Amino acid sequence: MKMKPIWARLFAALALVVPRVALAADPCHTVTFEDTPFTVCEARAGEDVRLWLRDEAGDILGTIPRVKATLAPNEQLVFAMNAGMYAPDRSPAGLYIENGQELHRIVTNEGPGNFGLLPNGVFCISDRFAVVESRAFAANPLACRFATQSGPMLVIDGALHPRFLPESDSTYIRNGVGVSGDGLTAWFVISDKPVNFHRFARFFRDELGAPNALYLDGSISRLFVPAQGRADFGLPMGPIVGLVAQD
């Protein structure tokens, strides 16, 4: 029998339930990189990072008030952002796992748009975080409590996506997620000015030191940080990712 890679065996051994914790301070801050401001929201392994898609009736949540309505009375939403690309009906474009249940299958074929600009990837939440290239994930799935697929990959094992051009004039407000090499830290980032893919990816690699990072979306990118009075959300979205803390 073929032995799974060490990272796959590690995640398979992790529990799917992460204890809820209280946070003492706002984990979001602004970092300026090459004259461009980025808002970085940091989460640590063991904190309660979740994905949301549908309510108990099967309707897509898609907004911050509806996500907050799913929380327990002693819980608060620390920050949230859109969590990957979605179809016109706001269903996920690729793999989506919530509370250990796969709600949409992984997509590994090349296709149109940014999602199909291979390699794309999966952001996995368990006792640690991981960003894994989609075909590698399909070959050796991780035991994810939550997961979302998006694309393209921004950083792949320390290298930028091969299709990114330094002088590209395709600039948007973009958001994505990067993970530290030990899987203990996840950085949720939104550019506060339009940037191209190359600069956005270099921010994750060169400023944050993330060996792997995943693009979540652009132009529709939104961030909610109540401690800063920031609430970008307007139009309903597809999957949403956020950090929950107890009061």
- Distance separating alpha carbons of residues 28 and 154, to the nearest angstrom: 21
Give the pLDDT band (50/70/90) at residue 146. very high
- In this prediction, residue 116 carries a pLDDT of 74
For CA atoms 136, 141, 146, 149, give the dihedral sign: positive
pLDDT digits (tens, 9 = 90+) for 2-51: 344 544 444 444 433 434 444 446 899 999 999 999 999 999 999 999 99
pLDDT digits (tens, 9 = 90+) for 47-57: 999 999 999 99
Answer yes or no: is pLDDT of 247 > 90: no
- In this prediction, residue 25 carries a pLDDT of 64
pLDDT digits (tens, 9 = 90+) for 86-130: 999 999 999 999 999 999 999 998 866 677 788 999 999 999 999
**146-177 burial, b if ≥16 CB within 10 A, otherwise e?**
bbbbbbbbbbbeeebbeebeeeeeebbbbbbb
- Distance separating alpha carbons of residues 18 and 4, to the nearest angstrom: 24
Contact yes or no for 124/130 (Cβ under 8 A): yes
- Specify the amino acid at residue 46: G
Contact yes or no for 49/205 (Cβ under 8 A): no
Contact yes or no for 47/233 (Cβ under 8 A): no
Which tokens sit at 10? 């590690």
